Structure 1
Amino acid sequence: MSASLRIVFMGTPDFAVPSLQALLDGPEEVVAAVCQPDRERGRGKKVSPPPVKVLAERHRIPVLQPESVRTASFLEEMQALAPDLLVVAAYGKILPQRLLDLPRLGAINVHGSLLPKYRGAAPIQWAVINGETETGITIMQMDAGMDTGDILLAVVVPIGRQETAGELFGRLALLGGEVLGNAVARLKEGALAARPQAHDLASHAPMLKKEMGHLDWTLPACRLHDLIRGLAPWPSAYGFIDGKRFRFFSPEVVPVRAGSPPGAICRADGQGLLVATGDDCLLIREIQPEGKKRMDAGSCLRGLRILPNTPIT
């Protein structure tokens, strides 16, 4: 029986947790976990550990949380761990080549898209925003670029027509762990063949910004439908009704011409808000008034009087 690989895992958020768990459940040895420092989170600004740290400490795995991965001291710590392989999943920073070259098997990454599509920080959200019908998990041999390394393994999954980025995020996180386990086993056996990415087909997935959620109702209903799903649960889509901000969820395209200007509420009832757009209408089934919980439209509208053609700005 071959010796266990010594693996250093690098990851920070929820997406990385199933990948770390897959390694912990497997035959290899996780000698350390590296994640971002504890940060303030939520409205209370409470300092909280990242999910990867919580899981690692539960399994008594040493945790490193450097502010920078480019210092000589961090490189020395990594050298002392003598890893055979570096596994990265949503760590949050680009790694220097000298770190990637340290393990004898190099470094592999669990990425939430079908590379070279959607390189960057938010591949899952942008796939939904852009109306893609499929995406997947790519296991990539890392280099010093932004998701530019050779592809080792890729698995395709469909995107549901009503699926949100949050729902897809959860599915791909679990799939990432499954595919990673397979990839590490095959890499250890020398049974994975790397293939270069087609760089001319690359697209980018930058971090989302809160202002992206302010809806432009002159867009077609199908584009707004994808945007609302892709921004859920964060930063979420929103607009203003009589000066008050409302967040919108669970959209449905209704292929009818409204005869009203884009953004006008054509109907408000238990089914939702039917809103005119640049092409067809959009039915909003769930609403979150400012300062309140997300709820179905019927519950929200019980105490809210909306006249025909009231605009959402």
Structure 2
Amino acid sequence: MTSPLRILFMGTPQFAVPSLQALLDGPDEVVAAVCRTDSPQGRGQKCCQPPVKSLAACAGIPVLQPESIRTDAFFETVQAFQPDLAVVVAYGKILPGRLLRLPRLGTVNVHGSLLPKYRGAAPVQRALINGEEATGVTIMQMDEGIDTGDILLPAQLRIEDNDTAGSLADKLAKLGSEALIEAVELLKAGRLKAVKQDHAQASAAPMLGKEEGHIDWSRPASELHCLIRGLDPWPSAYGFLGGRRFRFFQPQTVPGEAATAPGTICRADCGGILIACGKDCLLIKEIQPEGKRRMDIQACICGMKLPLGERFT
């Protein structure tokens, strides 16, 4: 019987929580959790602690929130925990080589794509935006590149037609936690085989920018359907009507050539807003007018007019 591993966990957002919980529920010992510093959030800019910090604190695990992970002081602090393995899940910073190599078994990462596709900060969103039919998670042996390390264990997941970046991230977080536990058990048994990535097949998943959400209605409805879902909940897709910004959610592609200019409101009732696109139409089920909360279309049209024939720009 193998001895329990001493594991250093590094992660920050909700995506990392299922993996940390799975490790806490398992036979190994999480000796410390490292996450980003508390940050202001929401309209009131209230300072909030990261989800990983909340879970670790509740479990009585020491929490480290360094301003920099590249200092000698932080390295020595981590070294004192004598970790056998480090696990990184959406920590949010590039780790220096000496930190990656500190644990005797190295450092593994739970990445939200099937590598080498979608290396980078937004793999979940980019897979949706690009209309992928499937994605997954990869347990990877980390090196000093950006998601370039050897593949240890992949796990695939089908993308559903109504998935958003939020719902898909939740599914992948759960899948990642399950794959992580399997990988750790295989690693302890000496049965985890590292496979080099085919760098020729790599694609990038750069961080999202708010400007990417500004909808070009001349594009096909099928592409906009993917874009809106990929940007939900953040930064969200939007257009303007009468100088006012509207954010769009829960799209549905409606086949049939639009007889009006792209962006034109063809219908607005309790079933949704039908908007002409470059090809086919898009039915929007939820909307968020500027200065208002996100709401279903029925609530929206009860409070404001969305005139037929007007165009979102």
Tell me how large the CA RMSD over aligned residues is.
0.9
CA deviation map 1:213-258 (0-9, x unaligned): 1111011111100000000011111111112111111111111111
- The residue number in structure 2 matching 1:87 is 87
Cα displacement (A) at 1:206: 1.0
User: Partner of 1:69 in structure 2?
Assistant: 69
Q: Aligned partners of 2:114 and 2:212: how far apart in 1?
A: 24
Q: Tell me, yes or no, if structure 1 residue 284 matches structure 2 residue 284.
A: yes
Find the aligned partners of 2:59 and 2:245 in 1 and give their Cα distance. Answer: 44
State the distance in 2 between where 1:36 and 1:306 align.
Answer: 43
Which amino acid in structure 2 is aligned with residue 154 of structure 1?
A: P
CA contact (8 A) 2:38 2:47 kept: yes
The alpha-carbon deviation at position 303 of structure 1 amounts to 2.9
Contact 2:30–2:61 under 8 Å retained in 1: yes
Q: Which residue of the partner structure matches residue 310 of structure 2?
A: 310
User: How far apart are 1:266 and its partner, in Å?
Assistant: 1.3
Equivalent in the alignment of 1:28: 28
- Would the aligned equivalents of 2:2 and 2:188 in 1 still touch at CA under 8 Å? no
1:302: how far off?
A: 2.1
2:123 pairs with 1:123: yes
Partner of 1:210: 210
TM-score with structure 2 setting the length: 0.98
Structure 2 distance, partners of 1:282, 1:202, is: 32
The 2-side partners of 1:40 and 1:184 are apart by 35
Gaps of 5+ in 1: none
Q: Which residue of 2 aligns with 1:11?
A: 11
- Tell me how far apart the structure 2 counterparts of residues 18 and 263 of structure 1 sit (CA, whole Å): 41
Structure 1 residue 307: deviation in Å? 2.8
Counterpart CA distance in 1 for 2:2 and 2:276 is 64
Amino acid at match of 1:92: G
Q: Which residue of 1 aligns with 2:196?
A: 196
Aligned length: 313
| Structure 2: runs of 5+ lacking an equivalent | none
| Rounded Cα–Cα distance in structure 2 between residues aligned with 1:21 and 1:269 | 44
Give the deviation of 1:267 after TM superposition. Answer: 1.4
Separation in structure 2 between the aligned mates of residue 124 and residue 11 of structure 1, nearest angstrom: 17
Percent identical among aligned pairs is 64
Amino acid in the other structure paired with 1:311: R
Distance 1:260 1:41 in 2: 41
Cα deviation, 1:94-123, whole Å, max 9, x if unaligned, reads: 111111111110000001100001111110
- 2:251 counterpart of 1:251: yes
Match of 2:56 in 1: 56
Q: Give the structure-1-normalised TM-score.
A: 0.98
Q: Secondary structure at the match of 1:157?
A: strand
